[in-house]
Amino acid sequence: MSLLREKILSVATNLFQTRGINSTGVDTIVAVAGTTKMTLYKHFHSKEDLILEVLTKGHQDFQSWIADKLSNNSKKPLEKIQQLFDFIEEWVASPNFHGIAFIKASAEFPNEENAIHKLSSEQSKEFRQFIADLATEAKIKDAEGLALQLSLLFEGAVQAEQMKRGSGAVKYAKKAAKILIDGAIKA
């Protein structure tokens, strides 16, 4: 990836996270990136392509980060699922936290036929599948059910923290997750 393409992607990511996607025009992106529209469109054919790339990269980066954190801290499948909310809490407390991009994007593009909404929905399903895979590895019988419950806790708590930093939502979601995980283990 060229350095200029990376810079445009980084600037767009930051602006979309802090100002919103629809509130951030191409003129603002190129001004902050110190480039031109022609250069932006050389790397991204449209603003929609840029948005899709920002969402894809952000999701991949988060998925890789959480998978690495879990793998580096435990080799036991059951411990990994039990530690999931520890690392989500760490992520939410970081200065780089700006919410879940796929939730924000789906809110700005509510039409289910829109490519951005479709990608956002797919990313939500991918994260839920990631949790289901952890639950399956931990030999939890209703892995899909637990994954849905935990993903709902995750999305809701992160949304609450985005709206009011320091709300304690993730702390309470973590307590609820422990109850759900313990119940699923006993089932």
Domain residues for 7? 1-45
Q: How far is CA 137 from CA 66, 80, 183, in A?
A: 16, 9, 16
**Do 57 and 33 share a structural domain?**
no
**Do 152 and 82 share a structural domain?**
yes
**Do 87 and 38 share a structural domain?**
no
How many folded domains does the chain comprise? 2
> Three-state SS for 170?
helix
- Tokens at 65, concatenated: 């980060």
pLDDT tens-place values along the chain, 187 residues long? 689 999 999 999 999 999 999 999 999 999 999 999 999 999 999 999 999 999 999 999 999 999 999 999 988 998 999 999 999 999 999 988 888 999 999 999 999 999 999 999 999 999 999 999 999 999 999 999 999 999 999 999 999 998 898 899 999 999 999 999 999 998 7
**Do 175 and 103 share a structural domain?**
yes
**Do 117 and 91 share a structural domain?**
yes
Global pTM reads 0.90
Which CATH number characterizes residue 38's domain?
1.10.10.60
**Do 108 and 72 share a structural domain?**
yes
**Do 36 and 79 share a structural domain?**
no
* Helices and strands (H and E) in the chain: how many: 9, 0
**Do 162 and 77 share a structural domain?**
yes
**Do 169 and 141 share a structural domain?**
yes
